[in-house]
Amino acid sequence: MFNKIEKTTSPISIMKQIQKAIAEGKLKPGDKLPSERELAELFQISRPVVREAISALSFLGIIQRKWGKGNYISEDLNISIIKNSLKYIVISKEKEIRDLLEARRAIECELISLAALRRTEEHLKKLEEKLLELLNCDKQSPRRFQLDYEFHLIIGKAANSDILHGFQFALKDKILEIMKVGVYLPDAIEKSNKEHLEMFKAIKSSDPETAKRIMEIHIKQLEERHIKRLENIKEKNERD
């Protein structure tokens, strides 16, 4: 299924071979990939390069990483898209991320503004409990993404706007999908933690303008990190 790769430090060749195997039906949605060690042996290439390729494919939604179980071809994968060039896949993913975060910005900036005006003491208690869980969560734990979005959902509930909160909840799975393949950068996590703390303070102080401004910054930085990751993949693809 896979061929030996000439010595390289780029993950693109591995990504293209896996993409080709899916397009040709040799790998199907739901299939488990060999381990990183096994792939490194098959390709005769270093494990860090394999790991980078798997990470990039996960980011593009081609591979689903199941913690403690391994890597699988995404079950809801659109095979017709996979048959296109890697460049096309990256461009499609970029549009998806921009569209999704644009919707999230419109919904959640309004929700947090309303939450600052309408929150109850019970909402504040739940927000503080979730915030403490998030701040104390291991930076590499996949659970932090769930805690992160649960914090945002509590904000949505505190806004007391059923329709807006319904829109927020409808985006939950897509948002978590993007967050789970996010970039594990220590400074990004520190910034995110600080922003969540500032959101809580603004809601507690009943300050809708500050709360909205912090949410705008938070989502904008999330978008910038993801687009930068996609641009990095595009650049490596063009070099290869």
What is the spatial distance between Cα 14 and Cα 4, in angstroms, rounded to a whole number?
A: 10
Q: What pLDDT score was predicted for residue 6? A: 60
Q: Domain with 28 in it: what CATH number? A: 1.10.10.10
Average pLDDT for the chain: 87
Q: Per-residue pLDDT tens for 160-208?
A: 999 999 999 999 888 887 776 555 555 788 889 999 999 999 999 999 9
Residue (of 122, 98, 101, 108) closest to 211 by Cα position: 108
| Structural domain that includes position 109 | 86-239
Q: What pLDDT score was predicted for residue 198? A: 98
Both 173 and 139 in one domain: the answer is yes
Q: What pLDDT score was predicted for residue 59? A: 82
What is the spatial distance between Cα 111 and Cα 91, in angstroms, rounded to a whole number?
A: 30
Both 121 and 229 in one domain: the answer is yes
Both 17 and 126 in one domain: the answer is no
Q: What pLDDT score was predicted for residue 31? A: 93
Both 51 and 113 in one domain: the answer is no
Q: What pLDDT score was predicted for residue 175? A: 84
Both 35 and 151 in one domain: the answer is no
Residue (of 138, 238, 116) closest to 186 by Cα position: 138
Total domains, the chain: 2
Q: Report the residue count for the chain.
A: 240
Domain termination residue (choose one: 82, 100, 128)? 82
* CA distances (Å), origin 132, targets 9, 51, 145, 156, 183: 40, 32, 14, 18, 22
Q: What pLDDT score was predicted for residue 136? A: 94
Both 152 and 45 in one domain: the answer is no
Q: What pLDDT score was predicted for residue 187? A: 74
Cβ atoms within 10 Å of 101's Cβ, excluding its own:
21
Residue 208, CB half-sphere, CA atoms under 13 Å: how many?
A: 13
Both 112 and 76 in one domain: the answer is no
* CA distances (Å), origin 135, targets 10, 151, 168, 211: 35, 11, 23, 19
Q: Domain with 213 in it: what CATH number? A: 1.20.120.530
204 class by beta-carbon count within 10 Å (0-12 exposed, 13-18 middle, 19+ buried): middle
Domain assignment of residue 7, yes or no = no
Both 19 and 68 in one domain: the answer is yes
Q: Which residues of the chain have pLDDT under 70?
A: 1-9, 180-186, 240
Q: What pLDDT score was predicted for residue 223? A: 87
Residues 6+ apart with CB under 8 A from 216: 105, 109
Both 131 and 213 in one domain: the answer is yes
76 — phi, psi (to 5°)? -100, 25
What is the spatial distance between Cα 63 and Cα 79, in angstroms, rounded to a whole number?
A: 12
Domain termination residue (choose one: 48, 65, 82)? 82
Domain termination residue (choose one: 67, 82, 97)? 82
Both 42 and 96 in one domain: the answer is no
